[in-house]
Structure 1
Amino acid sequence: MKRISLLASFIGVFSPIAHAQSAIDLAPITVTGDEQPTPGLDLEQQTASATRLGLSLRQMPASIAVANRSDIERHGAQNFQDAANALPGVNASAPPGFGGFISYRGFTSSQITQMFNGINVATGLARPVNSWIYDRVELLGGPSSSINGAGSVGGSLNYVTKLATRNEMAAEGRISYGSFDSTQTAFGVNHGLSDPTSDIQHYARLDVSHTTSNGYIDRQENDAWSVAFSLLSDLTPKLSHTLALEYQDEHEDSPYWGTPVLNPKAGELKIDRHERFRNYNVDDGLYEQRIRWVRSIIDYRIDDTTTLRNTLYHLDSQRDYRNLETYQYNADNSAINRSTAYLVRHEGTQGGDQFELRHESTVLGMATTWAGGFEYKVNGTTNNPWNVPANNSVAPDHFDPGHFYDLPNTRQGFVKDKTNEVTTKAMFVENHLAFNDQWSLVTGLRYDDIDLDVTNHREVTASNPRHLRRDWQPVTGRAGLTWQFLPTANLYLQYSTAAEQPSGTQNFDVSTGKQWEIGSKFDYLQGRGSATLAAYTIERKDFAITDPQDPTNSIPVGQQSSRGVELASSLRITPRLLLEGNIAWVDAQYDEFSEKNAAGIVVSRKGNTPTNVPDRVGNLWLTYDFTSDWQGGVDARYVASVYADNANTQTVPSYTLYGSFLTFKVSRHTSITGRVRNLTNEEYARFAHVSPAYYLGEPRAFELAVQTRF
């Protein structure tokens, strides 16, 4: 606990609650340029991923957190995962093969929905992209299928791209250079395209970011582009249309797949620090990703009380892997056995439409808002895998990495395996009813019709037919009651449910989740501080586990649960000193879970904690304005130890990361920032591979950046 004393110190600033801040009616389109949000916890902002009712964070009876553009820049978030890690309780990483891995509220992987611009897409697309093109990251805690669709047992993350605004002219740019030859060149421009006297007005925005790095692991080189373009057209005073295009391209040579742990593999796992930056992948290892998006968004204000929005979209993606992925020491730690040569291409497409209608009215003199609509989407994924053992042994400190196609039984070219096509049709409705100035109720209900069609492109057998079809019809909902007992403070109670379709081709019903949450959102110290507090309990039931009576079979009787507390606050201690922080505790366990151990025997893991789930995560930032031209700050992040196996016999140690920055404003528009990450050069694992292996985080790193905005 000593290591989190710094993170917990901000709790003591809480004092009697007083003075309400005035509400802000935010426009649906984010403003950029010189108009930056006020730093700190803003309870008046809105999030489309939490509700379609147009309510602020303060009004919603749910745990919601946002990292807006100001937060992203102030905290130095390099990609959208860094921005997500600044939110209460989130622990995100990107080990190869996992896309974007998230641990939150005791749940991981598919139990955390990751959306882009409110669209629930395949998790493989959640590999972190440079933060330049993103406007904000939103987090909704707990089961949220009723708002975001199937999944979402632990929560939902939404990554929101910058869009064109009604600024006549706004431009910004950034160049940076840092450790490991890391570079970034980025620019963005928002510009009005029409004569101000024209009946139809057009505004365009373009954001481009190019990053390169030699990597902190040997031979790992990365080159990535991200581009976002949008055209906002005000066709009439009530009707607007936004066309949004995105393109992402990433290429990584010799991707790092982890650092093997020393024998014996029990208790706290250790690595050879002398081999900390060694890359055991083949010399021509590869990861490539290309993503293309197009969205057509219509906003129409029918009258002063009724609005609609329709989003029509299509995306396609392709990801290629060519790597030797598994590394383990031999018994006496004198050699490393490499294995698992994997050549695969993932091809994905998704198209769909989201329609939303919102109406404000009164019922028996009580203000009420309705939101409802439908969603239709088709998500198709084709895998082209080739996996062979390719066992070979090398010396830990001196070896020839070799080439992929020199490994035994490897081959060139891709051969299709299966195509999974998931069609989802959904209807949803939400309501906000204000009984009076103090009491209000938010309810929601969603019906999903999910169809899975699997096409086998390889040899047809009795157990592997040409086509396999499954369908599910889950109904999920939520209800939350808010008591605004002071103008500056409320209490809320919420119940919510979730449903998740089985993985792969398992012929099971959906697994279900439910949550009870109680919390409070308030201002304090005459409005200089704001805070949120939430306590919850979640239960997930009926997911697949190994059948104790038949180890070759799975049965849908698994159950796991979690309970926890999350606290977030920001305080303007003085006009020059800003304190921000959050801390989360979670107790997660399997209530009913069996699996085969290394000997092939089915064993119970009841009472154990899921892998890669820390029970404590905390963040702290302290920012000080020395003068009008100079600003500096320090930060700290603590992540508790995690288990590397379901048996809970192997652990990866906790870690604390410290950082600092100093910014000089050269002019009103231009600033220079120097930043140091991982000040103490902490050796830590961001993720524990099942091999087991450490996926090591970045060592001490320096960065110098010049940013301009006008």
Structure 2
Amino acid sequence: MKHHRFKPATLALAVMGALSALGAQAAHAEDAKELPTISVSGERQKSTIPLDLPAATGSRLGTTIREIPASVDVISQELMQERGDRTMIEAVGKVTGMTGGRVGGSHVAFSARGFIENGVTWLYNGVRVPGSSNFSSRVLDTANYDRIEVLRGPAAVLNGEGGTGATINLISRAPSFDKQPFELDYAFSSYNSHRLHAGMGGAIKEDAVAYRADISTNRFGSNVHGERTELDRFTGSLLFKLSNTLKLTLELDRLHDDVEDLYYGTPLVNGRISKSLRRINYNNLTDNKYKSDTTWLRANLEWQVAPDVEVHNQAYYYDSFRDWRDVDDFTYIAGATPKVRRNTWADLDHDHQLVGNRLDALFKGTLAGMDNRFVVGTDINRTDFKTKRNGFPAGTEAPVDAYNPPSVSLSSGTSVFKTLARDVTIEQWSIFAEDQLSLTSKLKLVGGFRHDNFKTNWTYFDQAGAPKESKAHTFNSWRAGVVYDLMPDTTVYASYATAVEPGGSLVILNRNQSQLDLTTAKQFELGVKQGFWGGKGEWTAAAYDIEKRNVFVPDPARPTNRLAVGQQSSRGLELTLGLRPTRQWQLDGNIAYVHARYDDYSAGNPPVSFNGNQPRFVPRWLANLGVQYKPVEALTLGAWARHVDKAYINDANTLQLPSYTTLDLSADYTYSKTTQVGFRIRNATDALYAESAYGSTQVLIANPRTYELSLRMRF
């Protein structure tokens, strides 16, 4: 069993806020107003654009989505079930302007508003894992989530560095004193795939202790030879009502994944996708590894200090060990007997811990006679990261048969195995504030400010003498906006926001890259949010202009190094629509256009200008359209169409992922109050397309047409 280093001093910092709040409560709780009890009965709001619900991913002020001067999406658990979203890749991929998927050893990656990598940030119940946006991302089952919230546009004022394009917040199911049904879900699908979820919750002791527990397990294959994935996850939480004004929630989240013969992609043939190679797996080592074990611990304290004062404290601990062994770089060699050269024989792991605490207070009152909401808080955390790696050497193996690659051990391609390479720490603290001032009942001013300070220390054990490097960053982020209610159901807004991003993944930057400055960004956004037709429809629109300076991109020749790009910018328009004209019909759709480009970028010797080129993995057009029809109350028929424009996979814009359109079909039948059965056809037209690329010579081809039969039971 693996044991990780744990520093008592760091832990003390993490829980200090929780202990101080508990101590203060003992003296003052009896004078405060009783915490409000929120009861949820029946089904949650069915709208796919819940404008009148709050979303903490967009603001900590507790305001509704309508009042936030930004683009915010909420994907509820019910909505994910309706759409048949099995993983968060499928769920987030339906959000306006979002595209991406699994990207080999980089786990999961999305693009949003023209930006990738650190431009899209992941949160786990509001907590960001510092160091790299993609390091903590995995293929995760949707069953354990209450909802997924997505904020499009910069979020540095809320979460610190990163997230210029979007922030994705995965929020687990929570305990409640209300009775919750026992849930049992099972699905069988193509490639001998099985998916099972069981969950339940409710009161342990009425008005004192409640719980929620969910367990999900997946065993699924793919179109690619030999690839087989295991996903196992448990999420459990306990809610303690310590008094009428104080609640404490303790959470445990355990995740395990293990993939046999992970698919890293199919080599391009003359720059094109080859249908004849789509099932071949070149990463078929006999000692192949791709797995991780992750634990999250969280303690959330909610204290109603006074009728208009709320204090929230979250202490958190994250521990993850990720392990790889693979060959992952493939080049096609034409000839009478086509060959493939397998390069980059990798052996590495990540030993990754994070401990921290966030404390904030919300004040509701008046300022100069005007309604005002104000939040102030602080966040302190420490990241510890070690990695063993072999430097990813080029292989000694001769080119192999393109259609019958032999299964060999890693030692057949290289004699170099992993040793300790980096020991990295990131110590970070921040203070933040948000405010909403209602100048009139219709006009509101919204602002936010955040000051961050973090220091990264590297020890490079893979270099002679194990040299050390250190870099400190201090920066301010802010957001200002105005929200105006044209009519009771129609709101317009304008906002300006700033952001920063690290030049690359901080925890694995090479020594000569460790002193990179931060990338800076700014965004202007205009938008409208409206409900219409007596509550039967909602639509939103947003236009934005983003500019990033001091940008860095991976060096194609040495991907662990970064190349400086003077400036990158994007402009775009996003439209989202939800419509329920009758009980029988429901329509959901969105469309996004982005014009992203490099403004100042030259590379090579002699230098070649890439000015005006489109950044990698950024399609100009994205569109989704979902339709549901109920011919009778018990039967729901559905269709979901998705179009993704072409995207380039290199900065020179000479290689591309072709555009594609997919269609998913579904039928769900409610057999009784407790039982529902469903049938789905994904990629019904059997489209051949690649959802992403790994490097510049290979793409990850999506599954062809697949089928699924499911059973849902509620007791």
Q: Same fold (TM over 0.5)?
A: yes
Q: Cα gap change, 1:36/1:594 in structure 2, threshold over 3 Å: closer, same or farther? A: same
- Cα distance in 2 between the residues matched to 1:169 and 1:633: 27
Q: Percent identity?
A: 27
- Cα distance in 2 between the residues matched to 1:564 and 1:31: 40
Q: Cα gap change, 1:337/1:421 in structure 2, threshold over 3 Å: closer, same or farther? A: same
The answer to whether 1:227 aligns with 2:238 is no
Q: Pick which of 450-459 and 564-573 moved more.
A: 450-459
Q: Cα gap change, 1:169/1:140 in structure 2, threshold over 3 Å: closer, same or farther? A: closer
What is the 5 A alignment of 1:509-548?
509-544=517-552
Select 1:120's aligned residue among 117, 120, 128. 128
CA deviation map 1:85-125 (0-9, x unaligned): 11100012112211220100000011111111111114211
- Cα distance in 2 between the residues matched to 1:203 and 1:87: 33
CA deviation map 1:558-590 (0-9, x unaligned): 210000000001011222100011110000001
Q: Pick which of 163-172 and 104-113 moved more.
A: 163-172
The one-letter code sitting in structure 2 at the alignment partner of 1:125 is: S
2:683 alignment partner in structure 1 = 678
The one-letter code sitting in structure 1 at the alignment partner of 2:484 is: W
The answer to whether 1:409 aligns with 2:420 is no
2:368 alignment partner in structure 1 = 364
2:280 alignment partner in structure 1 = 278
Note the C-alpha offset of 1:687.
0.5
Task: Assess if the C-alpha contact under 8 Å between 1:117 and 1:161 holds in 2.
Answer: yes
Task: Assess if the C-alpha contact under 8 Å between 1:105 and 1:586 holds in 2.
Answer: yes
The answer to whether 1:172 aligns with 2:183 is yes
2:308 alignment partner in structure 1 = 305
1:134 alignment partner in structure 2 = 145
1:452 alignment partner in structure 2 = 456
Note the C-alpha offset of 1:163.
1.5
The one-letter code sitting in structure 1 at the alignment partner of 2:450 is: R
CA deviation map 1:140-197 (0-9, x unaligned): 1111101111111112111111111222343211011000111011100102111x3x
Task: Assess if the C-alpha contact under 8 Å between 2:118 and 2:502 holds in 1.
Answer: no
The one-letter code sitting in structure 2 at the alignment partner of 1:539 is: E
2:13 alignment partner in structure 1 = none
2:341 alignment partner in structure 1 = 337
- The RMSD of aligned alpha carbons is 2.0
1:7 alignment partner in structure 2 = none
- Cα distance in 2 between the residues matched to 1:134 and 1:674: 22
The one-letter code sitting in structure 2 at the alignment partner of 1:404 is: L
3-state SS of paired residue (1:473): strand
TM-score, normalised relative to structure 2 = 0.90
The answer to whether 1:398 aligns with 2:404 is yes
- Cα distance in 2 between the residues matched to 1:555 and 1:643: 18
Runs of 5+ unmatched residues, structure 2? 1-34
- Cα distance in 2 between the residues matched to 1:553 and 1:77: 36
1:669 alignment partner in structure 2 = 674
1:8 alignment partner in structure 2 = none
Q: Cα gap change, 1:97/1:528 in structure 2, threshold over 3 Å: closer, same or farther? A: same
The answer to whether 1:588 aligns with 2:593 is no
What is the 5 A alignment of 1:191-270?
191-194=202-205, 196=206, 201-263=208-270, 265=271, 269-270=272-273
TM-score, normalised relative to structure 1 = 0.90
Q: Cα gap change, 1:558/1:29 in structure 2, threshold over 3 Å: closer, same or farther? A: farther
Task: Assess if the C-alpha contact under 8 Å between 1:508 and 1:556 holds in 2.
Answer: no
The one-letter code sitting in structure 1 at the alignment partner of 2:677 is: I
3-state SS of paired residue (1:46): coil
1:322 alignment partner in structure 2 = 325
- Cα distance in 2 between the residues matched to 1:354 and 1:66: 23
3-state SS of paired residue (1:656): strand
1:640 alignment partner in structure 2 = 645
The one-letter code sitting in structure 2 at the alignment partner of 1:276 is: R
- Cα distance in 2 between the residues matched to 1:380 and 1:156: 23
Note the C-alpha offset of 1:232.
0.6
2:193 alignment partner in structure 1 = 182
- Cα distance in 2 between the residues matched to 1:159 and 1:168: 24
3-state SS of paired residue (1:518): strand
What is the 5 A alignment of 1:148-167?
148-167=159-178
Q: Cα gap change, 1:90/1:614 in structure 2, threshold over 3 Å: closer, same or farther? A: same
Q: Cα gap change, 1:589/1:202 in structure 2, threshold over 3 Å: closer, same or farther? A: same
Select 1:653's aligned residue among 650, 655, 658. 658
Task: Assess if the C-alpha contact under 8 Å between 1:611 and 1:646 holds in 2.
Answer: yes
- Cα distance in 1 between the residues matched to 2:437 and 2:140: 39
What is the 5 A alignment of 1:572-611?
572-596=580-604, 601-611=606-616
1:709 alignment partner in structure 2 = 714
- Cα distance in 1 between the residues matched to 2:583 and 2:593: 31
Aligned positions, number: 663
Task: Assess if the C-alpha contact under 8 Å between 2:354 and 2:383 holds in 1.
Answer: yes
The answer to whether 1:631 aligns with 2:631 is no
3-state SS of paired residue (1:321): strand
CA deviation map 1:297-345 (0-9, x unaligned): 0001111100011000001101111111111111447211111110111
Q: Pick which of 118-127 and 631-640 moved more.
A: 118-127
Task: Assess if the C-alpha contact under 8 Å between 2:551 and 2:568 holds in 1.
Answer: no
Task: Assess if the C-alpha contact under 8 Å between 2:285 and 2:326 holds in 1.
Answer: no
- Cα distance in 1 between the residues matched to 2:56 and 2:552: 32
Q: Pick which of 554-563 and 241-250 moved more.
A: 554-563
Q: Cα gap change, 1:31/1:174 in structure 2, threshold over 3 Å: closer, same or farther? A: farther
Note the C-alpha offset of 1:32.
7.7
Select 1:290's aligned residue among 289, 293, 296. 293
- Cα distance in 1 between the residues matched to 2:339 and 2:36: 58
Note the C-alpha offset of 1:252.
0.6
